[in-house]
């Protein structure tokens, strides 16, 4: 290919020299426990006490703290709405009032003038239905008014763009493997593309989770608190081995927590920093599209599907609890549909002169 026909992309700046000792204390400060918004213990609205007991029930059932935080935020918003209207008891809350709250969520406008997405509205209403179901089961209310509350329709969106195989290869080869951090970045990108795991899952992978003999990685407590084992391709396994043998020992500090991928400063990756790294490589490859780590997740699933993988195996690889989440990729992958269209559509079988 002529060099003039290659796509232009921003020049890559030289990699900065790691300043580990100077930055290490700052990163330690960032490793804080999960921030949990607190219910005001002095609040005189009795609904606060019911919400506290409901959230404690969720903890005793073994659910993760991240799920409790999401429910807390949603319920606090409803309690504030009810308190502003003088509603101080769960016994006074009826279906028309809940439908009025749902309508207010629909009419709510953010600071930029935009409305809440249907997905956001559903995330605020689902914990509310669970809260009233628990109240009815405990006998605190005679009947569940939220049982007939209809949730807004959640739109099924396709990925904005799916990278091609050549685009993924172009992006991955942007890593300068003559430097230690380039080897690490190459191993990280190869692992994301090979396994299709989420960025939070990759950031939490420990060294013992990587089984080189079996060619697999064990994902502990992934989304929904579920464990799973995913295979690692030969190319990704090769770069992982090179990174672990020659690069990671020089990045690690004592005490070493055993996290697989470390930053230039010897710290485990934060989710946002991993996304920034992948986004930077997308820009260097001249790929301008939204998303970062999820781009490689979408590409992994779509490319496997186009090459004949069964959708059930892709569901297990991605860790989807519901097959409907995986079926989105059957609409993205049009390779088979294109073949059928070319073979059967009259305009696709014959050439005509213009």
Cis peptide before 142 (omega within 30 of 0): no
Active site residue 297: yes
* Of 52, 133, 280, 294, catalytic: 294
Give the number of other Cβ atoms within 10 Å of residue 91's Cβ: 12
pTM as predicted: 0.71
| Residue 313 bears catalytic tag | no
Q: What is d(CA 79, CA 51) in angstroms, rounded to the nearest whole number?
A: 9
Give the integer Cα–Cα distance in Å for 272 and 275: 5
Task: Domains for the chain: give ranges and CATH numbers.
Answer: 46-148 (1.10.150.130), 163-338 (1.10.443.10)
Pick from 67, 15, 2: nearest CA to 284: 15
The full DSSP string for 224-254 is GG--EEEE--HHHHHHHHHHHHHTHHHH--S
Sheet holding 228-231, edge to edge: 210-211, 216-219, 228-231
pLDDT (0 to 100) of residue 31: 41
Catalytic residue check, 223 = yes
pLDDT tens for the chain, 354 residues: list them: 444 444 454 555 555 444 443 344 333 444 444 444 444 444 577 888 899 999 999 888 888 788 888 899 999 999 999 988 888 889 899 999 999 999 999 999 988 888 888 989 999 999 999 999 999 999 999 999 999 999 888 777 777 778 889 999 999 999 999 999 999 999 999 999 999 999 889 998 999 999 999 999 999 878 777 889 999 999 999 999 999 999 999 888 888 888 999 998 888 888 788 889 999 999 999 888 777 888 899 899 889 988 888 888 988 898 888 877 777 777 676 667 777 777 877 776 555 555
Out of 52, 223, 273, 280, the active site residue is 223
Minimal CA–CA distance to 187: which of 217, 143, 159? 217
Q: Which residue is catalytic, options 72, 199, 248, 320?
A: 320
The number of beta carbons lying within 10 Å of the beta carbon of residue 83 is: 15
Contact (Cβ atoms closer than 8 angstroms) between residue 145 and residue 92: no
- Supply the pLDDT for residue 13: 52
Q: Which of 191, 238, 223, 212 is nearest to 70 (CA)?
A: 223
Indicate if 48 belongs to the active site: no
Catalytic residue among 71, 186, 297, 298: 297
- pLDDT value, residue 348: 62
Angle subtended at Cα 199 by Cα 319 and Cα 286, rounded to the nearest 5 degrees: 120
Is 154 catalytic? The answer is no
Q: Which of 198, 199, 298, 303 is the catalytic position?
A: 198
Say how far apart CA 263 and CA 181 lie, in whole Å.
Answer: 8
294 part of the active site: yes
Decide if 282 contacts 295 (C-beta within 8 A): yes
């Amino acid at each position: 290919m002529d060099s003039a026909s290659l796509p232009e992309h921003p020049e890559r700046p030289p990699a900065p020299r790691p300043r580990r000792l100077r930055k290490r204390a700052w990163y330690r400060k960032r490793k804080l426990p999960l921030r949990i918004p607190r219910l005001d213990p002095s609040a005189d609205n009795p609904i606060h006490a019911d919400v506290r007991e409901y959230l404690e029930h969720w903890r005793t059932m073994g659910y993760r703290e991240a799920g409790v935080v999401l429910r807390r935020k949603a319920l606090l918003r409803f309690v504030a709405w009810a308190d502003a209207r003088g509603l101080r008891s769960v016994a006074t809350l009826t279906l028309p009032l809940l439908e009025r709250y749902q309508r207010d969520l629909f009419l709510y406008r953010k600071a930029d003038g935009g409305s809440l997405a249907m997905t956001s509205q559903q995330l605020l209403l689902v914990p509310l239905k669970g809260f009233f179901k628990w109240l009815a089961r405990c006998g605190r209310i005679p009947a569940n008014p939220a049982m007939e509350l209809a949730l807004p329709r959640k739109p099924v969106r396709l990925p904005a763009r799916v990278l091609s195989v050549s685009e993924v290869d172009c992006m991955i080869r942007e890593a300068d493997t003559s430097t230690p951090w380039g080897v690490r970045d190459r191993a990280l990108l190869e692992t994301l593309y090979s396994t299709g795991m989420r960025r939070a899952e990759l950031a939490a992978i420990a060294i013992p989770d990587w089984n080189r003999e079996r060619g697999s990685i064990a994902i502990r407590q992934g989304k929904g608190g579920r464990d799973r084992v995913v295979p690692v391709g030969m190319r990704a396994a090769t770069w992982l081995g090179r990174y672990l043998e020659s690069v990671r020992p020089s990045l690690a500090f004592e005490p070493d927590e055993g996290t697989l991928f470390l930053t230039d400063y010897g710290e485990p990756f934060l989710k946002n920093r991993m996304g920034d790294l992948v986004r930077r490589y997308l820009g260097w490859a001249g790929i301008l599209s939204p998303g970062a780590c999820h781009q490689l997740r979408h590409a992994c699933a779509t490319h496997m599907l186009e090459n004949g993988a069964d959708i059930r195996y892709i569901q297990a690889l991605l860790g989807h609890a519901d097959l409907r989440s995986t079926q989105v990729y059957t609409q993205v992958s049009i390779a088979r549909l294109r073949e059928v269209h070319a073979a059967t559509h009259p305009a696709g079988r014959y050439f005509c002169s213009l």
